[in-house]
Amino acid sequence: ETAWRESKKTKERDMQARIERPAAGGASARERNANSILEQARVVREEAEKLSSQRSSTIAALEKELEAAKHQNRDMSAKLSLRKASQLKEVEALRKELDAVSKRQQGSSGMARDWERAWIEERATCDALQKQVDDLQRSLEAERRESVQQRGDKDLLQRHLDEERDARARECEGMVRQCQQAGAERAAASEEAAKAKEELRVVSERLPVLQAALDRSEAELAVRRSECERLEGELSERSG
């Protein structure tokens, strides 16, 4: 913009120099034409400066709006992280409850195979829920990676996420081994078998609620990301 103004002023000075060197007998007419041209140039320059000022104000307003959207997006990411941590704790509580059911089933007999099938179904449900948690974690990880790039801390966050994922995988493997060992050691089934099946049913009914909460979290995160991309695209178009 400054270069454009300097170029405009240079052209005006050249025009003024040509006007000040009129041919004999035509000085008055050329002077009038020169004054008219200078007036037009002044009007054009004022309009250009006004448009430049308006453009700068518009860009500043859009930058403020984008900054506010990014701040709101960071707040939403923090809330989703807290919600995810709470849901993971609830999943862990369900697993501990399942382990307690397994211990109470020790000493059962005839219903051992039924309990084993129920445990396999419950494990499949837990794996599906774990996959949804991992999907949400990957989505949050992508959002965090974008913010971490601005702070230069991407590698540290990646290591932290890898350690957390590996620890959770080891924990799941340990629980699977414990449940398999408990299934191998189960003996005579009685009233405890029926009670354990009822507790498993209650646990299974609670899992869809957690799945729905995770789906809502993913949808909210997708909406916030789409809004931020739209604002950045609008700012890029207006700046261009």
To which residue do tokens 């949808």 refer? 219
Higher pLDDT, 151 or 162: 162
Q: How many domains does the chain have?
A: 1
* Helix orientation angle between 191-239 and 27-104, rounded to the nearest 10 degrees: 170
Could you tell me if residue 185 is inside a domain?
yes
Could you tell me if residue 8 is inside a domain?
no
Higher pLDDT, 154 or 176: 176
Amino acid 232: pLDDT: 78
Task: Round to whole Å and give the CA distance between 130 and 126.
Answer: 6
Domain ranges, residue 120:
85-239
Could you tell me if residue 206 is inside a domain?
yes
Task: Round to whole Å and give the CA distance between 144 and 77.
Answer: 8
Amino acid 136: pLDDT: 74
Report whether pLDDT(141) > 50.
yes
CA 10 to chain centre: 50
Report whether pLDDT(123) > 80.
no
* Least confident segment among 1-5, 73-77, 225-229: 1-5
Task: Round to whole Å and give the CA distance between 147 and 74.
Answer: 8
Tokens of 53: 């000022």
Could you tell me if residue 157 is inside a domain?
yes
* Least confident segment among 7-11, 35-39, 67-71, 233-237: 7-11
Per-residue pLDDT band at 125 (split at 50, 70, 90):
confident
Amino acid 23: pLDDT: 44
DSSP state of 21: S
Amino acid 68: pLDDT: 82
- On whether the CB atoms of residues 148 and 154 are closer than 8 A, the answer is yes
C-alpha separations of 170 from 34, 92, 108 in Å: 86, 14, 29
Could you tell me if residue 49 is inside a domain?
no
pTM reported for the whole predicted model: 0.26
Q: CB-hemisphere CA count at 13 Å for 5?
A: 10
Instruction: For residue range 82-103, list pLDDT tens digits in order.
Output: 887 887 788 788 778 777 766 7
Gyration radius (Cα) of the chain, Å: 36
Could you tell me if residue 162 is inside a domain?
yes
Could you tell me if residue 230 is inside a domain?
yes
C-alpha separations of 107 from 21, 110, 182 in Å: 116, 10, 10
